[in-house]
A = this chain, B = another copy of it.
Amino acid sequence: MKYTINEIAKLCNVGKSTVSRVLNKDPKVRSETREKVQRVIDRLGFQPNRSARAMRAGREPVVGVIVSKLDSGSESQTLRAILQALQVEHITPLIVESRFQAEQVRHHFQLFRKRQVNAVILFGFFPLPLEIVREWQGPLVVIARTYPNINSIYYNDEQAITCLMSELYRQGHRRIAYLGIEDSDETTGKLRTQSYLQFCRSHHILPNLTLVELSAESAYRHCAELFTQPVDALVCATGRLALGAFKFSQQSGKVFQMAYVGYNEPLQYMLPNALSFDFGYYQAGLKAVELLMRQLQGESLTEHHLISVEQS
C-alpha cells in the first residue's frame, strides 16, 4: 500500500539514490534506467513521503493566510486565487480568521511561529496598526493596505471612487451623495472620502456625505442623514455599507442610483443595475502569492503593487 524509495529500488534492481534521482528529474540518469524506474513508480502509484522530503530539505513551505472573514465576497475571491496559486507551488496554506481584530492578528502570528510558518499573507481589510504588522519577522505580503517597507498589494482607492463618480456623472446624475468610513481608517476611509470630495470640487458638485462604521447596520442607521437633501445617486465606500443603504432604500422607499466599491454577490444579484467597482480581487490573490514567492526566494526588495481592474 505505502511504498518507500527503498522498496522501489529493490524492485527495479537499482540503488535508492537512482530512484531519488528519477523522482527529482536529475538529468544524469540513463533514459533507459529512468524509464524502468518510472514504470514501476507509476504502476505502484508510489508517492515519496512528504515529511521525509521536507525534513531533508530543512524546511517545509507553509504560508499562513490571515483573512478577515471567511464569508466575505471580496476576500473569498482573493482567497480562492491564493489557494490555487499556492497549490501550484506545492506550498501548504494555513488559513485563519482575524474577524477584523488586530489582537487576533497578533495571536495568529504567535501560532504561526509555533507552527513554523515561513511566510504570511495578511488581509488588511480593516485598520491595522503598523506595530502589530511589524511583529511578523519574515516574508509577508499585506493585501489592501500599505506600510513602509512591507510588501503589499493594494487597491487604487482614488481610481475606484473617481471611476464610479465619473460614470454616475456621465449618466447625468448631479446630486451624488457619499456613504464612507471614518478617517481613522486610512485607506478605505480617508482616501476614498478625499477622492469623493476631490471629484465634487472639480465638477462643481455640492458634497453630501456621511461617515460611518464599517458595518451594514451603521450604514443603514446613518443613511437618512444624507437624504435630508435630494439625492440622485449614492456612492458607498464598501459593499457592506451598500447593503445597509439598500435596506434603507427598501424601508424608506427612496429611489436612487447605487454605486459601491467591492464585490458582493447577493447585492449584485439584488441590484443588478448598481454600479460596482471590482478591484480585481482574484488578480490580487495571484499577485500576492507571486510577491511572496519572490521573498521566499531571497529577493528582499519591497514592492507595493497596485491592482485595479474595472467592472460592471
Contacts and interface: CB of A to CB of B under 8 A. Distances in A.
A302 interface: no
A247 B269 contact: yes
Contacts of A95: 83, 93, 95
A172 interface: no
**Chain A interface category by residue count:** 35 or more
Copies in the complex: 2
Contact of A52 (B49, B55, B250): B55
Given A93-B95, A116-B49, A250-B270, A70 B60 contact: no
A280 to B, nearest CB: 17
Contacts of A70: 70-71, 76, 79-80
Nearest to A72: B71
Contacts of A311: none
Interface string A65-89: 0000011110111011001000100
Contacts of A87: 111
A105 interface: no
Contacts of A270: 243, 246-247, 250, 270
A113 B47 contact: yes
Contacts of A77: 71
Interface in A265-304: 265-267, 269-270
Contact of A55 (B51, B111, B115, B116): B51
Given A52-B55, A243-B270, 7 more contacts: A47-B114, A50-B54, A51-B51, A51-B52, A71-B77, A246-B270, A266-B267
27 contacts: A45-B113, A47-B114, A47-B116, A49-B55, A49-B116, A50-B115, A51-B59, A70-B70, A70-B71, A70-B80, A71-B73, A71-B75, A71-B76, A83-B95, A92-B92, A92-B94, A93-B95, A95-B95, A216-B269, A217-B269, A243-B266, A243-B269, A243-B270, A246-B270, A250-B270, A266-B267, A270-B270
